Homo-oligomer: A and B are copies of this chain.
């Protein structure tokens, strides 16, 4: 007989703003259901005005500023991007020493198919003046940031080259349906190789600028600060690091002796995952895993390793991914004050009993 409706839910980290992570050990699909897609907000949800709801403004250093409707965009050639979106703070809770901010576990990551239009196509309508440097994306969500009395819209910029990359899209669908309100309806920028702060939700306006954008989510947050006490050596968060997560077994599980499938996912920002290894002895030796899905740009691969656990005892299991750019997960994550880009080898402990 079937078990009654046994299913995971989003894991709430805060409600104001609403931050919830994907229950990643229980995700099997490479197109995460919208109900299990992680939510990361800086502010309350925006109040979309019907007048501006279904159109997008593009202005700034362009030849022809435009305001284009969703209806119009839907008639233009569509582009689909099947991609991981990973919050820059994914796994922040694992940094030692601990850092402040949302204590994300391993689930500030999801994957699915975004359909929309290449930003490049839209910028062909406006034309560029050849003096532009960056493109700024302004969301409909706004509020106060800590330490500031000023209101800010959530806004981020991309260098012009990244903005013109053919896979940088203005999406209007997720997994074949209109983007859910909480994930950016009606328009979400998708930058598949960057951490997800770049994929601005509820985009209302796009501005081409001739200098560097200096909004707080560009110049205060989403910066790697190597030092606790000062800002020396800071550099911006951009593309995703190579990374992997063990989905099964679960941390601190107790298992019987015998065969067990160790499984998980691995992903990277630029290039392809080429290898995933696991260690069953806390790094003394490594075994290559089977990649059970084909590595593709932007997507996670699913990997497995069949382990014959013959001997009772405690085991520390590590997973380590390598990508086609030659990047490999480090044993210890690069500590930074705001806790971005954690990508140390994943680690669980289990007991065979």
List chain A positions with a Cβ less than 8 A from chain B: 1, 3-4, 6-16, 18, 20, 23, 26, 44-45, 47, 98-103, 146-147, 181-182, 250-256, 349-351, 353
Chain B residues, CB < 8 A from A1: 47
Q: A101 and B23: CB pair below 8 A?
A: no
Compute how far the CA of A99 lies from the CA of B350 in the bound complex, rounded to whole angstroms.
Answer: 10
* Given A7-B15, A12-B8, A12-B23, A146 contacting B182 (CB threshold 8 A): no
Compute how far the CA of A20 lies from the CA of B8 in the bound complex, rounded to whole angstroms.
Answer: 8
Compute how far the CA of A149 lies from the CA of B100 in the bound complex, rounded to whole angstroms.
Answer: 47
Minimal Cβ-Cβ distance residue in B for A256: B146
Chain A's interface: helix, strand, loop or mixed, by majority?
A: loop
Chain B residues, CB < 8 A from A15: 6-8, 26
Tell me the number of copies of this protein: 2
Q: B4 and A181: CB pair below 8 A?
A: yes
Contact pick for A14, options B98, B103, B146, B250, CB 8 Å:
B250
Minimal Cβ-Cβ distance residue in B for A349: B98
* Given A252-B101, A353-B146, A45 contacting B3 (CB threshold 8 A): yes
Contact pick for A353, options B147, B253, B353, CB 8 Å:
B147
A44 nearest CB across to chain B (Å): 6
Interface contacts beyond A8-B12, A9-B12, A101-B252: sample of 6 additional A-B pairs, CB < 8 Å, sorted by A: A4-B182, A6-B18, A12-B26, A98-B252, A100-B254, A101-B254
Among A7, A15, A256, chain B packs the most CB atoms within 10 A around the CB of: A15
Chain B residues, CB < 8 A from A351: 100
Compute how far the CA of A111 lies from the CA of B103 in the bound complex, rounded to whole angstroms.
Answer: 26
Q: A103 and B146: CB pair below 8 A?
A: no
Chain B residues, CB < 8 A from A101: 252, 254
Compute how far the CA of A45 lies from the CA of B11 in the bound complex, rounded to whole angstroms.
Answer: 23
Among A7, A251, A252, A255, chain B packs the most CB atoms within 10 A around the CB of: A252
Shortest beta-carbon contacts, A-B, top 9: A9-B9, A8-B12, A100-B351, A6-B18, A12-B23, A100-B254, A1-B47, A11-B11, A103-B252
Chain B residues, CB < 8 A from A255: 146
A229 nearest CB across to chain B (Å): 12
Compute how far the CA of A251 lies from the CA of B102 in the bound complex, rounded to whole angstroms.
Answer: 9
Chain B residues, CB < 8 A from A252: 98-103
Minimal Cβ-Cβ distance residue in B for A8: B12
Chain B residues, CB < 8 A from A20: 9
Compute how far the CA of A103 lies from the CA of B101 in the bound complex, rounded to whole angstroms.
Answer: 22
Compute how far the CA of A250 lies from the CA of B252 in the bound complex, rounded to whole angstroms.
Answer: 25
- 14 residue pairs from A and B, CB less than 8 Å apart: A3-B45, A4-B181, A4-B182, A6-B15, A8-B15, A9-B12, A11-B11, A12-B23, A14-B250, A98-B252, A100-B254, A102-B252, A146-B254, A147-B353
Compute how far the CA of A100 lies from the CA of B351 in the bound complex, rounded to whole angstroms.
Answer: 7
Compute how far the CA of A351 lies from the CA of B337 in the bound complex, rounded to whole angstroms.
Answer: 13
Chain B residues, CB < 8 A from A18: 3, 6
Compute how far the CA of A254 lies from the CA of B89 in the bound complex, rounded to whole angstroms.
Answer: 15
A144 nearest CB across to chain B (Å): 9
Chain B residues, CB < 8 A from A6: 15-16, 18, 45
